[in-house]
Structure 1
Amino acid sequence: MNEVLWISFAITDLCIALMLYRFFGRIGLFAVIVFNLLICNLQVIKTVELFGLTTTLGNILYAGVFLATDMLSEFYGKREAQKGVLLGFITLVLMTAYMQVALHFSPAADDFAQPHLEAIFGFLPRIAVASMLAYITSQMHDVWAFHFWKEKTNGRMLWLRNNASTLVSQLLDSTIFCLVAFYGIFPTPVLVEILATTVIFKAIVSVMDTPFIYLARRVHAALPENAH
């Protein structure tokens, strides 16, 4: 069931990104970046087995962030893509800070949520630091590489700049995140397996998003702001 659920989840998330873009334009893409980034930083705490390999949950939603960033780059330019990256970064910082403050409130005598919140968000600072370092590095590289390949190909071969920028950026992201977040927590063999499988599964979703960015081009042309 994990494998079926994973594939279904990936397709659904990519479809939702297109739907939000269709109804809200570039604001919808900013929403995809913020929402996916926050949720995947919660899901990444959970490890699952897919195709006999151990990996972290959250790979799907993080790949959706790259799709939204590439769509901003393609349709609105480097500056708007960088704005989306910074918006996601600031939101992650604020969520981490706010939840740490929430944990310092003394719970009521009949409160049941505190231990559960501590279990999730008590571990979050390390996850958040790892995510922030990985996110800002990989996303800024993604925006740069996307436009580098766009210039090299004179605006042709959308599939090439979409995959060439994202695959390398995903490798940077996974390496930085796994080493900072999980070093010393998991045994080295498990850490290596998580890193390898994270790269593999993110790469699969990145390739899966290629037809979606071509569909996004049609959606872009149909938006009222671009109608002729």
Structure 2
Amino acid sequence: MVTKIWNDKPTKLFIAITAFFIANALIAECIGGKLFSLESVFGMAPANFSLFGQTGLSYTLTCGVLLWPLEFVITDIVNEYYGQKAVKRISIIAVCLIGYAFVMFYVAMHAPASDFWVHSKQDQGVPNMQAGFSAIFGQGMWIILGSLVAFLVSQLVDVFVFHKIKQKTGNKMVWLRATGSTVVSQLVDSFIVLFIAFKLGNNWSWQLVLAVCLVNYSYKFVMAIILTPLIYLAEHLIDRYLGHDVAAAMKKAAAEK
């Protein structure tokens, strides 16, 4: 049975894609606690603009956005070759494993710390390793909940929009279904995570939620456009790996599911 699995290229490809999809999502969650200034990356001063009456806005983003766009690229690839059910399956698996990871983070944070370890990095500017560890991994429960719900819902939206566009276009216009599904699902993702984490969890005003949502979404929208050629490159490589006939049969079967 194992030999049969490892000799089947579509199965091996699906396992590899699933592993990368889950690892990418988990890494994005882990590094999401750090914020960075997009303007500073390009040597620019903060934009300092206004939306919905909120002033002083700029492109201060979570480091998680560096990886999340890749999740939607992978979703579109899986949808193209394996269909909606496969995307839903790997999305649910990812959410479950991310939830498991956060439970383990919680256990690790509350495990009794060694006195030696707590003060082991004082000469490097870290006076309390336990406090530092908890600060890095101890995201608020509202943020965790918002992130997981947003991820799962946006994935399902991405699958739905992608499939509807493919029903209309067939195997043509890959850019339209890939980019179209991503720009819709990213808007849903941006709103849900802010609504749960900061409207429900921190009582932000609707104006602030919408303003920050649009700032984050504008970045994601641009990234969706920029990453569109990656879909074509991935399809080219996958078609070469699977063989044209196998790849065409998989795409046809995926569209019918």
Moved more, 177-186 or 192-201: 177-186
Structure 2, unmatched stretches of 5+, are: 1-11, 40-45, 47-58, 119-128, 247-257
Change (3 A) 1:168 1:192: same
Query: What root-mean-square deviation, in Å, do the aligned CA atoms of Structure 1 and Structure 2 show?
Result: 2.4
CA contact (8 A) 1:96 1:125 kept: no
Rounded to whole Å, the distance in 1 between the matches of 2:176 and 2:163 is 11
Rounded to whole Å, the distance in 1 between the matches of 2:37 and 2:211 is 11
Give the secondary structure class of the aligned counterpart of 1:58: helix
Partner in structure 1 of residue 169 of structure 2: 153
Letter in 1 for 2:224: S
User: What do the CA deviations read for 1:89-113 (whole angstroms, capped 9, x no partner)?
Assistant: 1111101111111122111112233
Change (3 A) 1:126 1:120: farther
2:28 maps to 1:40: yes
The structural deviation recorded for 1:197 is 2.1
Rounded to whole Å, the distance in 2 between the matches of 1:27 and 1:46 is 30
Count of aligned residue pairs for this structure pair? 206
Moved more, 142-151 or 187-196: 187-196
Give the secondary structure class of the aligned counterpart of 1:55: strand
2:143 maps to 1:127: yes
In structure 1, which of residues 105, 110, 113 is the aligned counterpart of residue 111 of structure 2? 105
TM-score by length of 2: 0.72
CA contact (8 A) 2:186 2:221 kept: yes
In structure 2, which of residues 91, 94, 108 is the aligned counterpart of residue 88 of structure 1? 94
Change (3 A) 1:187 1:148: closer
Give the secondary structure class of the aligned counterpart of 2:67: helix
CA contact (8 A) 1:43 1:57 kept: yes
TM-score by length of 1: 0.81
Partner in structure 1 of residue 81 of structure 2: 75
CA contact (8 A) 1:60 1:202 kept: no
In structure 2, which of residues 216, 219, 235 is the aligned counterpart of residue 198 of structure 1? 216
Letter in 2 for 1:199: Y
Rounded to whole Å, the distance in 2 between the matches of 1:186 and 1:46 is 22
Partner in structure 1 of residue 233 of structure 2: 215
Rounded to whole Å, the distance in 1 between the matches of 2:212 and 2:137 is 21
Larger Rg: 2
In structure 2, which of residues 151, 173, 179 is the aligned counterpart of residue 163 of structure 1? 179
The structural deviation recorded for 1:169 is 0.3
Letter in 1 for 2:82: Y
User: What do the CA deviations read for 1:183-226 (whole angstroms, capped 9, x no partner)?
Assistant: 46597576555322210111111112211111111111111576
Give the secondary structure class of the aligned counterpart of 2:117: coil
Change (3 A) 1:37 1:186: farther
Rounded to whole Å, the distance in 2 between the matches of 1:157 and 1:89 is 30
Partner in structure 1 of residue 132 of structure 2: 116
Rounded to whole Å, the distance in 1 between the matches of 2:37 and 2:82 is 38
Task: State percent identity of aligned pairs.
Answer: 29
Partner in structure 2 of residue 29 of structure 1: 17
Structure 1, unmatched stretches of 5+, are: 1-23
Q: Which runs of 4+ in 1 moved over 4 A?
A: 184-193, 224-228
